[in-house]
Structure 1
Amino acid sequence: MDFATGIGLLVGTGVIALMMLLGGDLHMFVSDHAAIIILGGSFAATLIRFPLSSMLHGLPLGAKFAFTMRRTTARELVDQLASLAEIARKQGPVGLEKVEIDDPFLAKGIRYVADGYDVDFIRDNLERDRDNFLSHLDEGQKIYRAIGDCAPAFGMVGTIIGMVQMFANMTDPSKLGPFMATALLATLYGAVLANIFCLPIADKLHLKLHDEDTNRTLIIDGILMIRDSKSAALVREMLLAYLPEKHRHDADEPVPA
């Protein structure tokens, strides 16, 4: 669970709700007209940009990975792959079958090595798996960013509609308040949807995409070296290049025999 995303959303919505309560009743900030123009307009504009299948796949996938963290860090992956290389050198590929691995992508690669698959097959299959996953994750962040871009614009559209309705009914003072409220709430809804939800989630997904690209490429290189029966020390040294400089010395420990 990525607590930073959850905490950020709770704090953001909490601050806005608190400011609303300090100024009166929450009911005065509820407008179905403003919600329709923001949600409906943003969905329609995003649907024009992306195929429906991409939206149906990208929205839930993006939401899932915005709130989840990778089980294994890059530093832990280096240690784990070095240990697996040591097992493969001592017991052969068959020894890898007994090892329990939490990371599904790493487990898949180790299974290929244990089953004796060809190096080219392992590389092509894992790279295709990585590229498909990254493509879907990138699709999700683009969709959330598109909604974040559209929401404030449709907030302005809602404001303009509300202002037109207000000026068209200047002779009826009872309608001026509701139309003005709708105009202002449309802008509020658009700003909140974009800056509290969609754009932060898009940025979080962009960071996760970069991390997953690095980690999965690290795994592929490690798996191929294990398949070629490289020593644990060589596997560790080669994979340390994926880590930031400050983490390399912490991970530079001998693999237990």
Structure 2
Amino acid sequence: MIDIIQANIDKFFDPLTLTMVIGSVLLMAWVQNGRASIGLAFMALLNCGRDPFAESGENATLICRRIDFVLQEDGLVGLERVKSDDSFVRRLIAQLLNGKDAKTFEEWARLEENSVRKRQNIPATYWSSASDIAPAIGIIGTIIGLIQLFATGIDPMKMGPAMSFTLLTSLYGLFVSHIIAFPIHIRLQTRAEILNTYRAAVVQHTIAIAKRELLTIGPVHFSPAQPLRAAG
């Protein structure tokens, strides 16, 4: 199999057809996931193969224990000394340090966590879409090639290029889907799950601290205005 490919490598590689397939896949995945998705998808490739906290060994239990230790020693003011490799956790701790009341902090933390989770999931979703779209793009190319093939009749000199285009588009669609996009999707999804689970645990812990350490403002109840009575 390898010998056949090596001997006919020029027949398996058509730069124009490959560019058309990859470009169509990336474009359709971008349309499906929004204008910011393609930039985030390619930026995520820089850290695709790295564990989020491989170097620091950071995890939710460690951060939560650091926070508790600092609170026991120095109170909320000491939270300035708690460091994290994750920018979201740093913002969360800073917000807790400067928080005025527990309710406001909880609302901010929930909204921010949801926003960060959505952004974290975008790259994996983009590459998942690319993986799903690529075979369809290959089939579309195959159908176009077959139409061209049947349009040429039985002329052997014209059948070759049309048949080659027909088979290569399917090959490239499957290659982009199963060899490129799907493995990237799995890796980014795993990374997103690690980060989202970690952040959710820290959010829960800091909300519990806020309810204990910060002022709790209850719901405001409004009473309907009483009509004024005429004097005398």
**TM-score normalised by structure 1 residue count:** 0.68
User: 2:90: which partner in 1?
Assistant: 107
- Sort the Cα spacing of 1:104 and 1:158 in 2 relative to 1 into closer, same or farther, 3 A: same
Is this contact kept in 2: 1:84–1:226, CA < 8 A?
no
> C-alpha displacement at 1:78, in angstroms?
0.6
AA matched with 1:176: M
Identity of aligned residues (%): 21
Q: 1:196 aligns with which of 179, 192, 209?
A: 179
Would the alpha carbon gap of residues 206 and 224 (structure 1) be closer, same or farther in structure 2, given more than 3 Å must change? Answer: same
Deviations 1:11-34 (A, max 9, x none): xxxxxxx93775414322222453
Structure 1 letter corresponding to 2:22: L
Q: Which amino acid aligns with 2:111?
A: R
**Which structure's CA Rg is the greater one?**
2
Per the TM alignment, residue 185 of structure 1 is displaced from its structure 2 partner at its CA by 0.9
Distance 1:80 1:106 in 2: 9
Residue 87 (str. 1) matches residue 82 (str. 2): no
Distance in 1 between the 2:207 and 2:103 partners?
9
Task: State the Cα RMSD in Å.
Answer: 3.1
Q: Which 5+ residue runs of structure 2 have no aligned equivalent?
A: 214-232
2:48 corresponds in structure 1 to 66
| Helix, strand or coil at the partner of 2:118 | helix
- Asked if 1 retains the 8 angstrom alpha-carbon contact of 2:30 and 2:38, the reply is no
Q: Which amino acid aligns with 2:172?
A: Y
CA shift, 1:48, in A, is 4.8
Question: In 2 relative to 1, CA 49–90 (structure 1 residues): closer, same or farther, beyond 3 Å?
Answer: closer
The 1:118–1:57 alpha-carbon spacing in structure 2 relative to 1, beyond 3 Å, is farther
Indicate yes or no: 2:195 matched with 1:212: yes
CA distance in structure 1 between the aligned counterparts of 2:51 and 2:62, rounded to whole angstroms: 19
Unaligned runs of 5+ in 1: 1-17, 231-257
Match of 2:205 in 1: 222
Distance 1:96 1:87 in 2: 6
Cα distance change, pair 122–65 in 1 and its aligned pair in 2 (3 A)? farther
Q: Indicate the structure with greater helix content.
A: 1
Task: Give the aligned partner of residue 238 of structure 1.
Answer: none
1:57 CA displacement: 4.4
1:89-147 per-position Cα deviation (integer Å, ceiling 9, x unaligned): 12122222233332222222222233344222322222222111221233333332222
Alignment partner, residue 218 of structure 2 = none
Q: Larger deviation: 104-113 or 62-71?
A: 62-71
